[in-house]
Amino acid sequence: MAEIKVQNLVKTFGDFTAVDNVSLTIADQEFVVLLGPSGCGKTTLLRAIAGLGMPDSGVITIGGRDVTYLPPRERQISMVFQSYAIFPHMKVYDNIAFGLKMTGVDAKETDRRVREAAELLHIENLLDRFPNKMSGGQRQRVALARGIAMQAEVILMDEPLSNLDALLRLEMRAELKRLLSNIKATTIYVTHDQIEALSMGDRIAVMQSGVIQQCDVPTKVYDMPENFFVGSFIGNPPMNFFSSQIVKDNGSVAAQVGDFKFAPHPVMAKLLDKYEGDTMTMGIRAENMETLNQPADDALRVKVLVVEPLGAQNLLTIKIGDDTVKVSTHPDLAVRADDDVWLRFPSDKIRWIDRESQKVIYPS
């Protein structure tokens, strides 16, 4: 059992707090992704778990054992970091085999694991080469192969696919996920790639300024963000946010955008009542708006500024008030820049932000 438990972890550099009282439990064999903007503390947190940077306070346990102040080699973990740290004077084969030999795995098993990992990462033809004659992407795959071949119960990875080209990355994503599940590893995976996080993680921990803002399954993080930051960070494009005014329309709560009024979901209407007269931020995803190319009473008229054909969808850029909004449409809907379109906002897809706390309001 290799459950990882981080409790109240703090890591400072001078008077800067890089990890701010983080608590996180990763279940045995779970795959958790740390996702967040550059500088939010992902690598610092991972390094503390790896034993590469001592925390100021807090406790880290792996499989119930307190490892907070143990050196990395006593933590029984495998690490794949962005800086590949592979040995330039050793052939690829020996680089991948290195850790296995050090831990006393016999030659036959070492050979089997080296070849399996090399095959997975499509570097079987490089086993006889020296890393200093290879590209960054190839070296990164050697580092990844070495980490995987260890088959440790805990694998910590920091942007392990960042130097691969888009196609290889797409392929590796799925294969790596399958392999980690086969070897039953507990994995923490740092990335700032949205798609990697959403497609690979059992759960995603979204970080900002050293704090975990939300840790949940990808569908929940995507569809039900905890707060404005998570919504505006997750997804490509991220959730749209724009202002609306909470008003009364024939005695019922309504939201008003420009001259257009619409009724919030009945469950939300009760919660929005107390915001009457306030301007509120509402959030909705690009694919959740319905776009019509003719007027409708229950739709907001907007002008299309840009149309980006993306193959499976077209992405429209529009403005609602001062806010730029992205709308996803079916490619069959004939729309060009400067056209008017009409948008419907399905009420169950709208997220409302409390201005003070910046949290999304959900019915309890």
Does position 43 interact with ligand ATP (CB under 6 A)? The reply is yes
CB of 53 to ligand ATP, least distance (A): 8
CB of 137 to ligand ATP, least distance (A): 18
Does position 38 interact with ligand ATP (CB under 6 A)? The reply is yes
CB neighbours of 28 closer than 8 A, spacing ≥ 6? Answer: 1, 2, 3, 186
Does position 44 interact with ligand ATP (CB under 6 A)? The reply is yes
Does position 192 interact with ligand ATP (CB under 6 A)? The reply is yes
Preceding amide of 225 cis, omega within 30: no
In this complex, which beta carbon is closest to ligand ATP, that of residue 20 or of residue 94?
A: 20
Q: Which of 2, 4, 9, 41 binds ligand ATP (CB under 6 A)?
A: 41
Does position 39 interact with ligand ATP (CB under 6 A)? The reply is yes
Amino acid at 344: R
Alpha carbon of residue 254 to chain centroid:
34
CB of 55 to ligand ATP, least distance (A): 12
Does position 42 interact with ligand ATP (CB under 6 A)? The reply is yes
Owner of token pair 């972890």 = 9
DSSP for residue 52: S
Does position 180 interact with ligand ATP (CB under 6 A)? The reply is no
CB of 230 to ligand ATP, least distance (A): 15
Q: What are phi and psi of 218, to 5 degrees?
A: -55, -40
CB of 177 to ligand ATP, least distance (A): 21
CB of 85 to ligand ATP, least distance (A): 16
Q: How far is CA 338 from CA 4, 126, 237, in A?
A: 54, 53, 21
CB neighbours of 178 closer than 8 A, spacing ≥ 6? Answer: none
Cα–Cα distance for residue pair 252/44, rounded to 1 Å:
50
Residue 198 near residue 118, CB atoms below 8 Å: no
CB of 17 to ligand ATP, least distance (A): 9
Q: Which of 13, 54, 175, 306 binds ligand ATP (CB under 6 A)?
A: 13
Find the part of the chain contacting ligand ATP (CB under 6 A) among 39-47, 251-259, 261-269, 317-325: 39-47
CA-closest candidate to residue 257, choices 244, 270, 273:
244
In this complex, which beta carbon is closest to ligand ATP, that of residue 19 or of residue 221?
A: 19
Find the part of the chain contacting ligand ATP (CB under 6 A) among 40-48, 118-126, 130-138, 319-327: 40-48
Alpha carbon of residue 120 to chain centroid:
24
CA-closest candidate to residue 227, choices 40, 362, 45:
362
Question: H or E segment at 10?
Answer: strand 4-13
Q: Write out the residues near ligand ATP by the rule CB under 6 A.
A: 13, 18, 36, 38-44, 192
